[in-house]
Amino acid sequence: MSQIVKLTCSVQNYAWGKSAGESLVAEFTKNSHKTERFAELWMGTHPRGHSVVKQTGQKLSDWIGEDLNSRLGSVCPAISGKENGDLPFLLKILSIDKALSLQVHPAKEHAAELHARDPEHYPDPNHKPEMAIALTVFEGLCGFKPVNEILDSMKAHKELHSHLSKETVDIINFGKQSVIDEISFIKKLFEELIKLDKSADIVKKALESSSDLSASDKLFNRIHAQHPGDGGLVCIYLLNHVTLQPGECMFLGANKMHAYFSGDCVECMACSDNVIRAGLTVKFMDVKTLVNMVDCTPGSVASQKLTPIRTKGDNIRMYVPPVKDFAVDRVWPNNKPLTLVNKASPQIMLCTEGSGTVSSGDCVENISPGDVVFVVPHVSVKVTGDFTVFTAYCQD
């Protein structure tokens, strides 16, 4: 039986993606089309972009489905009881040139509720926790800022005050000691700002006559050039601007507001399509649902990052989020052959740099950047050479 098979994976050419020459997605798939944008590479069994087994030409889910026992396993909670070959996680590469929509993803029960109520806009009943690991410098918005930072921004933006409630303006003027409940205050301020018509024009006009721009003001101007007049721009003053260096990671759990702005990353998520958008998009937005569900807990930039676990000397980092659906290891054997711990889960392994081999039993595959392999559960895997792979799997 083949314990390792190579995959051909699906590219998504969204308008926000980088062009060939800049995009890691284009580099990994050897695409050089001049006018196309190469936004995402999808590795998994998602129906809108399923991977194909190179050897047989089958959809990966069909190939797994031929022998569920040995190709999918049954130990991991996210897999047990599955009657088809669909993987519970989706691994992606994102190459971002322009800001993506401001969004949150629902918790599991809420996703089922939304899907039952509005299947057109919420296409499946699953939750969609996500994790982004930077491959190049990667930036975006993630989670609400500490209250004092929000208050400082709002104090500086007096042009907004006449459009807010008296109660909110009083708190802005009196400062942090007048905030009784931080989460309730942030929620109320967010709701007033996101529902405010023409908020981007109001702020933009004030910035045009100001000579002293803050870092958030400069970010506002930069993203405004990509999404002129967009009602979500004002959230730049409420949310943390997070910059990840290569290897750094952020995890987006249920109801955590986020938007990706630029850079390349490895992204892993539960296989789902449920997104609730509040701005920076021309797609369907559901501000009312978002306001009700959004997690307004304030936190620092540092608190948005997920620190990987160091193991096996210096050659493996494990990015383990607080959900069972997935985890990702970054492995670089550095010319010392490395035998990886057997996993109860199937794995999807992507090479991002260097070259070498991945082997298990009689199966040996040469890999170089952009090569993707599927590894069946409960087998010992050996990696040899000088390269980096990211491998996604379900947690036991």
Residues 128-187 that bind Zn ion (CB under 5 A): 130
- Binding residues for Zn ion, rule CB under 5 A, total 1
Closest CA to 387 of 351, 339, 363, 340: 351
User: At its nearest, how many Å lie between Zn ion and the CB of residue 267?
Assistant: 9
330 in catalytic set? no
CB of 93 to Zn ion, least distance (A): 15
Considering beta carbons, is residue 71 or 227 the nearer one to Zn ion? 227
Q: Report the nearest approach of Zn ion to the CB of residue 344 (Å).
A: 28
Sites for Zn ion among residues 107-136 (CB under 5 A):
130
Cα–Cα distance between 162 and 358 in angstroms, integer?
62
Q: Which C-beta is closer to Zn ion: that of 130 or that of 248?
A: 130
| HEC sequence for the chain | CCCEEEEECEEECCCCEEECCCCHHHHHCCCCCCCCEECEEEECCCCCCCCEECCCCCEHHHHHHCCHHHHCCCCCCCCCCCCCCCCCEEEEEEEECCCCCEEECCCHHHHHHHHHHCCCCCCCCCCCCEEEEECCCEEEEEEECCHHHHHHHHHHCHHHHHHCCHHHHHHHHHCHHHCCCHHHHHHHHHHHHHCCCCHHHHHHHHHHCCCCCCHHHHHHHHHHHHCCCCCCHHHHHCEEEEEECCCCEEEECCCCCEEEEEEEEEEEEECCCCCEEEECCCCCCCHHHHHHHCCCCECCCHHHECCCEEECCCCEEEECCCCCCCEEEEECCCCCCEEECCCCCCEEEEEEEEEEEEEECCEEEEECCCCEEEECCCCCEEEEEEEEEEEEECCC
Q: How far is the CB of 268 from Zn ion (least distance, A)?
A: 12
Which of 130, 191 has the CB closer to Zn ion?
Answer: 130
Shortest spacing between CB 258 and Zn ion, in angstroms = 6
Closer residue to Zn ion (CB): 233 or 376? 233
To the nearest whole angstrom, how small is the minimum distance from the Cβ of residue 305 to Zn ion? 16
Quote the tokens at residue 234. Answer: 């004002």
Judged by CB, which is closer to Zn ion: 4, or 235?
235
When the beta carbons of 103 and 352 are compared against Zn ion, the nearer one is 103
Q: Which is nearer to Zn ion, 130 or 264 (CB)?
A: 130
Catalytic residue among 37, 117, 222, 277: 277
Minimum CB–partner distance for residue 171 and Zn ion (Å):
30
Active site residues: 277
Residues that bind Zn ion (CB under 5 A): 130
